[in-house]
Structure 1
Amino acid sequence: MVHVSIMPCINKRKFKNFYQSVTMKYSDCGNKPDEELCCLSRIIVNLFSNQTKTFTKLRVPPLPTECMQQILQHIADQGVGSLYPCLLVNRFWCNNVIPFLWARPFEGQLPPENRYKFMLIYLASLTTQEKTTLNNYLMPYNISIPDLDRPLYNYPMFLEEFSYKNVETAVYSCICRWNTEEFVARNREDQILVLASTLCQLFMRNSTSLKTFIIDKFLNHSDLPDCFIFNSGQPGLRNISNLSIDCTKPMMENTIRLLELIPSLCKKIRCLEVKILFFENNTDIIQAIIKIIRAQESLTEFNLDGVRSGESSDIIQALQCQSLTITTIKFENVDFTADSLRSLAVCRQLRNLSLLYYRGLTMESSSTSSSGEGRGTGSIWSQIKFDLRKLRLKNSTKSPLISAALIRAAGEHLTCLSYDVITRETIEATTLYCPNITELELLDYLPHHNSLVYLLFRGLHQIKRLTISVYHNNSNRYMIISGRELPTTLEYLKLQCGLTSIQLEDLLKDCMAPLKVLILDFIKFEHSDLKVITKFVKARRTLRYLGISGRIAWNVRETNELEALKKRGVILIPWYEIEKW
């Protein structure tokens, strides 16, 4: 048994000395940011999870709250399940862990029994009057809320992200335990709405930490609670900074009313995300979105998925009101014209632009007359000028001229570029108009692109990060690219394809670039691939981080190979962190 005695709280100077001693001891973690904090986190967690040693008396000095929260945040990023043992250390640890566990309790694929448990905790947080009223509403459905003791913590207060779809899912798991499947199926929407309305009222009244609000649905024909619930509680939605609206399912009356109410409630939204079915645009929804955009004080990020050209033009016009603050825009499955793109260029603070599967763009000006075919062609594109740092293109029409025109419009300060149309036009536009590229992603790579990519690498002299993606059907056909052709400035290489061990060896043996990070997203990764990497590490001695997607467990031979790489200073990136690299 571990006996814990608490020392008086140490000051920050003492903790700093303790922290520095730990980071010096574990300095072999490399130079990646927060690695020292990661080591410290592991030390503390392992200290209390180690079951092989017996401590007669263990003194645990409470850390400053700010330091404690940073450590817990690092652990939470690896999965909140890692935090549960920390609840049992002492009251100070428990008080710091609880907000992390209840910030996003609906996240992940929770089993029904877990959804049921935390739903009971929320229902126990209701007032006596609310429980009585709720039981009266549920009486026709033969449901009665259990008599529960009030929790020790105000759990709704810690909620940071609200998704109505997740609330519906959790409520549904409860009513399935309380009634037969046949009865639930007949009255499903009504029962869910009663319970969800009560929970929404609870959250709007207590959730002082609420930052993200997601309007989505679990059932096709369900509706949100009355918008009065979202308007009456304090602070309610007034402090949210992230709003996501999913209109891919039928929009009911209460949902549309809430969208119309949001402009008067929410003025501090910084990130707005909207998803609409492309062929089912609703005028009321489009107008509500436009009003939401115009009502914000400092919108910085906007994502739009699925809007036709007429509606997208109106939305882009509204975005001009945020031209002084908006920095990131993503359009996906959006139909718009070059005129709309020119209007978007008014946003002078725009730095990150993503155009994915876009439609409607042509090289001809919209003002070109039918009698003067070709007259004015391309003139509007000369007026489109951005000052971007990052541009992502996925062209649904695979038009090289459109992609090249967008690259030319990006501006000379562009440093990150991603596109899937690899032609002479796009290569020339990249090398001539965007010479400062340091991060390049080539999508839909094909064998015949090799000669073009050689020209691209010769024209760009500052590339440090390179990602090459190959569709599954084209994998393993030919060598993707020769190692001797890779930029000599390259420090990061990510291969999303399926090379054989021989192809991988041919790539790495001639690679003269000082690679520090290598990430392999292979369809099938084998032990022979690890041996190729070990050979490269021995020869070049520059690799520090290795990431292998999709692999959680390793056999004995692979484990031995990884241990050999570790001895040579190579750190294996955990599979759950690869997406962050």
Structure 2
Amino acid sequence: MKYPDCKKMPEDELCCLSRIIVTLFCNQPKSKIHVPPLPTECMQQILQHIADQGVGSLYPFLLVNRYWCNNVIPFLWARPFEGTLTPENRYKSMLIYLSSLTAQEKTALNVSLKPYNITIPDLAPPLYNYPVFLEEFSYKNVETAVYSCICRWNTEDFVARNREEQILVLASTLCQLFMRNSKSLKTFIIDKFLNHSDLPDCSIFSSGQPGLRNISNLTIDCTKPMMENTIRLLELIPFLCKNIHCLDVKLLFFENNTEVIQAIIKIIRAQESLTEFKLDGVKSGESRDIIQALQCQSSSIATIKFENVDLTTDSLRLLALCQQLRNLSLIQYRGLTMEESVWNHIKFDLRKLRLKNSARSPLIPAALIRAAGEHLRYLSYDIITRETIEATTLYCPNLTELELSDYLPQHDSLLYLLFKGLHQIKRLTIASVHNNASRYMIISGRELPTTLEYLKLQCGPSIQIENLLEDCEAPLRVLILDDAVNLNFADLKVISKFVKIKRTLRYLGIGGRISWNGKEKNELEMLKKRGVKIIPWFEIDKW
């Protein structure tokens, strides 16, 4: 029997297959279940798709048989502390990890915990080597889980007096366990649960095998006070990790630590092929040094995101020298000035450009749009002025996706000029943060680009559906009305009329409305019968 190659299956077909399997094993009595002999590769592809919707939905499959259990366990223990866990569940996960310790480690741990009146309970050996499945390590999650344990083992007053010391003892033992066993570890996150806690001694992360040597994603969160062991570990990472592809750094803008900045620069320079870099909270002097370090990754870096960062026009010119840079996000950026002689030499070859909380001067975002390059496909900005509109229409001929924020009624004439100049746009998002806007602020449907297939409006009660859809010539397949608290039965009738006439709409999302009256429910059912999928309100953010 030949099996399909799951890696080549379209996502909708994989989703359909996943639903069939879920239905098969949830709706039939256990005694009648016939387990299809799926190969491991297909099984893992299907389980991955289900896990992407929520790991919790995998638990029923543990009870099918041993083969299914063996395939599900790695997904459940890849990120065991992910999401919002109750203290009880964190405690249970901790007990399973503690049961994985050797006899010598348990003895040593009990000796270290004796001053705190804590004794590790006798635990049966686990059925699996759970630490080997770990893919993402967050020290903050480890601290939180350990804290759930010590709160069970001691009084609240005693825990409060010795909290940092107890957490460090247990966390150090767990880190040793993970560094020794976690062959699947790909993501390492340096963060903290407590303000004044510190990481275990950095020798724990360097002596264990494989330790940190195989990680490809590194996040460094320095928004809490940096302690000695944490800084020493940052200085050690360039010698341990050479294959980091994604580096995410968060700093306190007003408290940049020189040792930390230099360690980050060395981490950047030590990588063989850095492809994604995110930086949050750096002043102009430090950002210039970090951008200069990125030059050694100019042949590989493809995505850069700067948030709350002071930039200079000269540092932006250095960024433009990264020949593989395709995605650039500048959020709450400062420091750029209009120096014509410098801007004339800033030329990117981007595919995506996102500008948010821009400098109030419209000349800067307009200059960035002009410098993005003619191959730009996605553009997002929040300064809707004649300068940014003209830059978009003149310098972005291949744009297919556009997001506009901070929309106001007076922008309608500018948007008309914008849409008239865009000939390939397929996805459009318009957002407004102004609560006092009038209901009749959205432009007429006849002004929308005739190539448009996706439209998302985040304009609260300001959406006027009839004006939007009555004369819309665009072949919309997806329509999302976010925060549409005032949407009523008459509006749904307008949407139904559009569906009946155009016959293109396949997905409809309505945010802000959780409950519907009888007439509205009937109209939504009629839309479903016409082939329109109603996106649940809690999934709208994913579209």
Give the TM-score, by structure 1 length. Answer: 0.90
- Alpha carbons of 1:252 and 1:55: their partners in 2 closer, same or farther (altered >3 Å)? closer
| Structure 1 position 480, deviation (Å) | 1.6
Confirm or deny: 8 A CA contact 1:336 1:358 kept in the other structure.
yes
Structure 2 match to 1:438: 400
Q: Give SS of 2:74's match.
A: helix
1:463 aligns with 2:425: yes
- How far is 1:500 from its partner? 5.5
Partner of 2:379: 417
> In structure 1, how many angstroms separate the alpha carbons of the residues matched to 2:185 and 2:510?
36
Dislocated runs of 4+, deviation >6 Å: none
Partner of 1:246: 221
Find the residue that maps to 1:243 and give its secondary structure: strand
What amino acid is the match of 2:96?
A: I
Alpha carbons of 1:56 and 1:84: their partners in 2 closer, same or farther (altered >3 Å)?
closer
The CA distance in 2 between the partners of 1:236 and 1:576, in whole Å, is 38
1:37 aligns with 2:37: no
Matched, 1:404 2:358: no
1:46 aligns with 2:46: no
8 Å CA contact retained: 1:157, 1:207: yes
What is the rounded CA distance, in whole Å, between the counterparts of 1:188 and 1:92 in structure 2? 42
The partner residue of 2:273 within 298, 302, 314 is 298
Q: AA paired with 1:161?
A: E
**Paired position in structure 2 for 1:29:** none
Q: 1:372 corresponds to which residue? A: none
Alignment partner of 1:343: what SS? helix
Structure-to-structure mapping, 1:498-513, within 5 angstroms: 498-499=460-461, 503-513=464-474
Q: Deviations over 1:487-510 (max 9, x none)?
A: 000000011121357x12221112
| 1:191 corresponds to which of 161, 166, 170 | 166
Secondary structure at 1:473's aligned position in 2? Answer: coil
Instruction: Decide whether aligned partners of structure 1 residues 81 and 43 sit closer, same or farther in structure 2, where only a CA change above 3 A counts.
Output: same
What is residue 516 of structure 1 aligned with on the other side? 477
AA aligned opposite 2:381: Y
Which of 90, 94, 97 aligns to 1:115? It is 90
Please state whether the residue corresponding to 1:332 is helix, strand or coil.
strand
Q: Which runs of 5+ in 1 are unaligned?
A: 1-10, 20-31, 365-377
Contact kept? 2:485, 2:511, Cα under 8 Å: no
RMSD: 1.8
Q: Which of 231, 237, 250 is the aligned partner of 1:256?
A: 231
Change (3 A) 1:93 1:561: farther
Matched, 1:383 2:361: no
Kindly indicate whether the alpha-carbon contact (under 8 Å) linking 1:293 and 1:318 is maintained by their aligned counterparts in 2: yes
C-alpha separation in 2, matches of 1:553 and 1:176: 41
AA in 1 matched with 2:455: L
- Change in 2 beyond 3 A, CA 1:525/1:49: farther
Q: 5 Å matches for 1:356-367?
A: 356-364=331-339
Change in CA separation of 1:552 and 1:105 when aligned onto 2, cut-off 3 Å = farther
Matched, 1:214 2:186: no
Q: Please, which of 93, 98, 105 is the counterpart of residue 130 of structure 1?
A: 105
Contact 2:359–2:365 (CA<8 Å) still a contact in 1? no
CA contact under 8 A between 1:436 and 1:462: conserved in structure 2? yes
CA distance in 1 between counterparts of 2:99 and 2:209 reads: 20
Residue pair 2:358, 2:382 contacting (<8 A) in 1 also: no
Give the deviation of 1:577 after TM superposition: 4.4
For residues 517 and 89 of structure 2, the distance between their equivalents in structure 1, rounded to whole angstroms, comes to 33
| SS of the residue 1:392 aligns to | strand
SS in 2 for 1:546: strand
Counterparts of 2:438 and 2:153, CA distance in 1 = 54
Distance 1:474 1:379, change over 3 A: farther
The whole-number CA distance in structure 2 between the counterparts of 1:532 and 1:189 is 61
Choose 515-524 or 208-217, whichever is displaced more.
515-524
Q: Distance in 2 between matches of 1:152 and 1:272?
A: 35
**Range with greater deviation from structure 2 (468-477 or 510-519):** 468-477
What letter matches 2:15 in structure 1? C
- CA distance, structure 2, for counterparts of residue 317 and residue 344 of structure 1: 8
Q: Name the CA shift for 1:33/1:218 in 2 (closer, same or farther; >3 Å).
A: same
> Mapping of 1:88-103 within 5 angstroms?
88-103=63-78
1:317 corresponds to which of 273, 292, 315: 292
The number of equivalent residue pairs is 540
1:106 aligns with 2:68: no
3-state DSSP class of the match of 1:493? strand
Deviation larger for 514-523 or 413-422: 514-523
1:201 to 176, 189, 192: 176
Letter in 2 for 1:517: V
Give, in whole Å, the separation in 1 of the partners of 2:521 and 2:189.
43
**1:472 offset after TM fit, Å?**
4.2
Equivalent residue number for residue 279 of structure 1 = 254
**CA displacement at 1:435 relative to structure 2:** 1.3
Q: In the superposition, relative to structure 1, how do residues 193 and 458 fare at CA in structure 2: closer, same or farther (>3 Å)?
A: same
- Compute the displacement of 1:570 (Å): 1.1
Q: Secondary structure at the match of 1:379?
A: helix
Looking at structure 2, the residues matched to 355 and 62 of structure 1 have their Cα atoms a distance apart, in angstroms, of 50
- State, as a whole percentage, how many aligned pairs show the same letter: 80
Query: Is the alpha carbon distance of 1:278 and 1:548 closer, same or farther for their aligned partners in structure 2, counting shifts above 3 Å?
Result: same
Q: Does 1:545 align with 2:507?
A: yes
Hey, what does 2:200 align to over in structure 1? 225
Give 1:575 deviation, angstroms. Answer: 4.6
Give the distance between the partners of 2:508 and 2:41, measured in 1 at CA: 32
Amino acid at match of 2:480: I
Deviates more, 1:554-563 or 1:166-175: 554-563
Measured in 2, the distance between the counterparts of 1:405 and 1:413 equals: 16
Closer, same or farther: CA 141–530 of 1 in aligned 2, 3 Å: farther
CA distance in structure 1 between the partners assigned to 2:320 and 2:24 by the alignment: 55
Give the drift of 1:537.
1.2
Closer, same or farther in 2 for the Cα pair 1:45/1:554, shift >3 Å?
Answer: farther
Q: CA deviation at 1:580?
A: 3.7
* Residue 16 of structure 1, CA deviation: 3.9
* 1:152 alignment partner AA: L
Task: Kindly indicate whether the alpha-carbon contact (under 8 Å) linking 2:43 and 2:71 is maintained by their aligned counterparts in 1.
Answer: yes
